[in-house]
Amino acid sequence: MTKLARILLNFLATIFFVSNKELFIRKNGLKLLKFVLLIYSYTPFKKNNIFFKIARSDKFEQYSDLYNLISVLISQDKKLNILEIGIGGHDKEFSGGNSILALKYMYKNSKIIGLDFENKKFLEDSRIKIFQGDQSKIDDLNNIVKQYDNFDIIIDDGSHFVNHQFASFEFLFKYLNDGGLYIIEDIQGSYVKSMNGDPELAYEKNLVTFFSHYTHCTNSRFIIKKLEKKFEKYSNFNKLFFVENAILIQKNSKNISKKYPEDELYLSLEEMNTKKKRIKDVSGVIKQNINNR
């Protein structure tokens, strides 16, 4: 909430003799925020990161480029199921939900589902559904899956503990639709022992090390047969982005390109030229009009 909005709401609370001013400010600040986001959602040339700025979400400061990118990767006009783990505000009453609200107005035809360890039911409306639970517990995640089946965008902005991030990903990724996006924020815990990460970058405790192992999956059509088993678990990674403090994965199972002929992967340049009936030199130029020379 902006300083000006807080001053205005504080003034109204005073003249109407409201007993709990802070609660009045939070509840009515939420209504004011929704109104401003609604107005912005109808402006031309809107950008995703500005929704977060209006909502005063830390996603604006940390992940502006990342969330502008997702508007290219997935249509905002479709009816989507969007799950965000971690709503913010900790145990403060009527606090948090900044990014949940930004997502609601960014994706005007979509269902927004939130999961938090604390009770954040005050955010619920016709398009927002809130669950209370622990992201590291399969039963709590399964409660959500039972109601929504599949998701198009999953955002992990939860506890930031690495073991929790791994647990959520391992369970939820299979419920991500083709073309869907899985975003893990605040991966700094991967480098910190107190967050169950590892400063020495161990595979099982560092998200960047773990996902780096599967970068070849984005080019699965070129992977030779004897290595397929090594990468098959995540062969549906279509795009994998590493940005500062976050990872984005786009899933694609249905439209995996036709496998590249394995025998051609081992041919020398001379052998490939013979097979393709062409002349490509070591500079990368394919000679044209050979018969005219």
Q: Are residues 215 and 242 located together in one domain of the fold?
A: yes
Identify the pLDDT of residue 11: 46
Q: Report the CATH number at residue 123.
A: 3.40.50.150
Buried b (16+ CB within 10 A) or exposed e, 93-104: ebbbbbbbbbbb
Within this chain, do residues 137 and 191 fall inside the same structural domain, yes or no?
A: yes
Name the domain count of the chain.
3
Note whether 244 and 154 are same-domain residues.
Answer: yes
Given this model, what pLDDT does residue 175 score?
Answer: 97
Give residue 173's pLDDT. 97
The verdict on 13 and 31 lying in the same domain is yes
Same domain? 117 vs 208: yes
Q: In this predicted structure, what is the pLDDT of residue 10? A: 60
User: Are 206 and 64 contained in the same domain?
Assistant: yes
**pLDDT one digit per residue (tens) for the chain, 293 residues:** 555 555 555 645 566 566 665 666 566 667 778 888 999 999 988 999 999 999 989 999 999 999 999 999 999 999 999 999 999 999 988 889 999 999 999 999 999 999 999 999 999 999 999 999 999 999 999 999 999 999 999 999 999 999 999 999 999 999 999 999 999 999 999 999 999 999 999 999 999 999 999 999 999 889 999 999 999 999 999 999 999 999 999 998 766 668 899 999 999 999 999 999 999 999 999 987 665 54
Same domain, 161 and 238: yes
Q: Is 194 helix (H, G, I), strand (E, B) or coil?
A: helix
pLDDT of 12: 53
Q: Are residues 41 and 57 in the same domain?
A: no
Which residues constitute the domain of residue 32? 1-45
Same structural domain, 70 and 186 = yes
User: Residues 178, 251: contact at Cβ < 8 Å?
Assistant: yes
Q: Helix H segments across 42-180?
A: 48-54, 59-73, 98-106, 138-148, 162-172
CA dist 230 and 213 (Å) reads 10
In a shared domain, residues 98 and 230: yes
